[in-house]
Structure 1
Amino acid sequence: MKTLLSALTPLAILTLAIIISGVLGYFIFLAIDGAVPLRKLISKTALVLLLLSIFPLMHFLKLSKADLGIVAKKDFALQIIAGLVLGIAILAPLFLTFYSLDIWVVDTNFQFTTTIILAKLFKILLISFLISIPEEMLFRGILLTSLKRAKGVLFAVFLSAFYYAGLHFLKSKTEIPPDEANLSSSYYLIADALTQLTNPENLSAFIALMSVGIFLATIRIKSPMSLGICIGIHAGWVFLIKTNSAFLNRNPSSDWYFLVSNYDGVIGPLVTAWLTLITAILITYTYLRDKSTNNSLEP
């Protein structure tokens, strides 16, 4: 029963957030006279609700900050900075590969000025942390910890990664004209978003995002007090992906485009292979390190 509760609680919270976001998103849409597409408002409202659910969920599951891998403020900030640098370093070789294979090409229509570039980079960095902090708190913090307590490491790593990957496809691509939108439109968009979970076109991206979740969960398992590092790595990846999209264009006509997916032109088979390799190296390294430490302690 405890295992089932740990596994279903995040799903219940997500479902509740989606239902409430349908109503709130629509009323926000009315308040701003349709200035922002309804589908985006629903998505962002759901994200805010998930963020607000973190502390009540911690209380409900009796989890402390230490249980989630949160260290003292100064060390936490240093972890985030180190993770940011590490995240960029991990994905940078892939982006260089994308450029060399013409999967991404320079946007020749973009007007590059120092002011524009700096403003965009600052905005992207801010968005990167707005995404990474709640997602890591939920998936590598609350969910991973509660599942590990209930069922063990492997169950926790894979199920948390599955939930994490699934969340990224709960997005509708349907645009509803402002003058045609009503409250029922919100739930039409939500239903449309749910169908994306079973869309076979998303399979390679789903697997890649699972590999992302598994890698980040492995870091938390191998170094329990490392949530700040996970946040930084995640932010570094989002920063690279969004910076790439801001200044370059996808090139679907590239012979190597199969290495990515249509999800964002980055997540795909190459990311899966790369992160699986790095995860394997991390597991091997920590195993040999721990084995060496244990041997040195033997009389």
Structure 2
Amino acid sequence: MRETGIFFLYLFGCLILGALLTYPLMQTGWIAYDPHRVMGRLAQVFILIGLWPFLKAMHLNDRTALGYGVSRARFLGALGRGWLLGVAILLVLVLNLLLLEIRVLHVAGVDWLPVLLRKSVQVLIGGLLTSLLEETFFRGALYSAIRRRGGVGSAILWSSFLFTLVHFMKPHALPEGTAFDWLGTGQMFVQVFTNVFQWKHLDSMAALFLVGVFLALVRERSGHIGWCMGLHAGWIFVIQVTRHLTDGNQASPNAWLAGNYDGIIGWLAAGWIGLLALGFWSFTRNQERERRA
């Protein structure tokens, strides 16, 4: 838990810096975005700027600790196969959402193929970049830091917990009528934490936690993050394309199975990913026992 706390404090410090810079930067008139989006982007910039010095201070600035301790060919092969597997896994989920009419297509009557191709290129690149950063941080550095001092269980649990928490620690727009000044900036900062632990997020948090568990299990068994990056990028690809081509259907009696986070990741996703995680761990554990026998 100590290592998790240190990583959290690093992210917390970057968020504070982003909050302190948001108001004076917005006052210049150079930026036309919403203040909460500016705060979030500034925090991300500070995370990227300080990441390497932070990793050096934690003695995690080597390829093995970051999850890249295999040959380039092996890593890229795992990434590619992981992406295909990630797409297949999430397609099963999305097809069930469509069959249960939790999501419905909204491309009827339009030439959807060019739209799909254009969006696919965008989310493919975005998904790969996101998975590169998140997997290097969570299943690379954080997992290695915890694994060095604790067991597999601690590394899986705490890396998944922080992975889940960070996805909900985002600045939100100020309530209507609230002035954007230093006091309003402070309110946005506080809301990053007060908005996290709400019942409406429980299903999505459960799903994301099990996603983290699954990826951590893959990291443990493979010894690197190539498969993790591929799976993660494949999931992002399917989610973003699905959100672009479909709408949530709140009239469906099964709508509760999809979460508020993105309209896809909810109880149904939690059950599906949790089942896969359990099956993967059982299968690989049996294989390991057979090798030792």
TM-score, normalized by length of structure 1? 0.89
Unaligned runs of 5+ in 2: none
Aligned partner of 1:61: which letter?
A: M
**TM-superposed deviation, 1:75:** 3.2
Partner of 1:132: 131
Partner of 1:237: 235
**TM-superposed deviation, 1:274:** 0.9
Task: Give, in whole Å, the separation in 1 of the partners of 2:120 and 2:195.
Answer: 30
Distance verdict in 2 for CA 1:161–1:180, change over 3 Å: same
> Residues 67 and 140 of structure 2 are in contact (CA less than 8 Å); yes or no, is this contact kept in structure 1?
yes
Task: Give, in whole Å, the separation in 1 of the partners of 2:47 and 2:109.
Answer: 35
Q: Does 1:55 align with 2:52?
A: yes
> Residues 161 and 211 of structure 1 are in contact (CA less than 8 Å); yes or no, is this contact kept in structure 2?
yes
Give deviations 1:64-92, integer Å, cap 9, x for gaps. 21122203334333322222111111111
Task: Give, in whole Å, the separation in 1 of the partners of 2:40 and 2:145.
Answer: 26
Aligned to 1:53, the other structure's residue is in SS state: helix
Unaligned runs of 5+ in 1: none
TM-score, normalized by length of structure 2? 0.91
> Residues 116 and 241 of structure 2 are in contact (CA less than 8 Å); yes or no, is this contact kept in structure 1?
no
> Residues 34 and 178 of structure 1 are in contact (CA less than 8 Å); yes or no, is this contact kept in structure 2?
no
Partner of 2:268: 270
**TM-superposed deviation, 1:272:** 1.1
Task: Give, in whole Å, the separation in 2 of the partners of 1:16 and 1:161.
Answer: 20
Task: Give, in whole Å, the separation in 2 of the partners of 1:236 and 1:52.
Answer: 27
Partner of 1:250: 248
Pick one of 280, 284, 294 that aligns with 2:292: 294
Q: Does 1:82 align with 2:81?
A: yes
Task: Give, in whole Å, the separation in 2 of the partners of 1:22 and 1:232.
Answer: 33
Task: Give, in whole Å, the separation in 2 of the partners of 1:88 and 1:78.
Answer: 16
Task: Give, in whole Å, the separation in 1 of the partners of 2:29 and 2:84.
Answer: 38
Task: Give, in whole Å, the separation in 2 of the partners of 1:54 and 1:138.
Answer: 9
Aligned partner of 1:220: which letter?
A: R
**TM-superposed deviation, 1:157:** 0.6
Percentage identity across aligned positions?
A: 27
Aligned to 1:243, the other structure's residue is in SS state: helix
Partner of 1:259: 257
Task: Give, in whole Å, the separation in 1 of the partners of 2:237 and 2:50.
Answer: 25
Cα-Cα RMSD: 2.3
Partner of 1:123: 122
Give deviations 1:247-282, integer Å, cap 9, x for gaps. 111111111111111111111111111111111111
**TM-superposed deviation, 1:286:** 1.0
**TM-superposed deviation, 1:23:** 2.9
Q: Does 1:11 align with 2:5?
A: no
**Matched residues, number:** 291
Task: Give, in whole Å, the separation in 1 of the partners of 2:255 and 2:191.
Answer: 27
Pick one of 279, 282, 285 that aligns with 1:284: 282
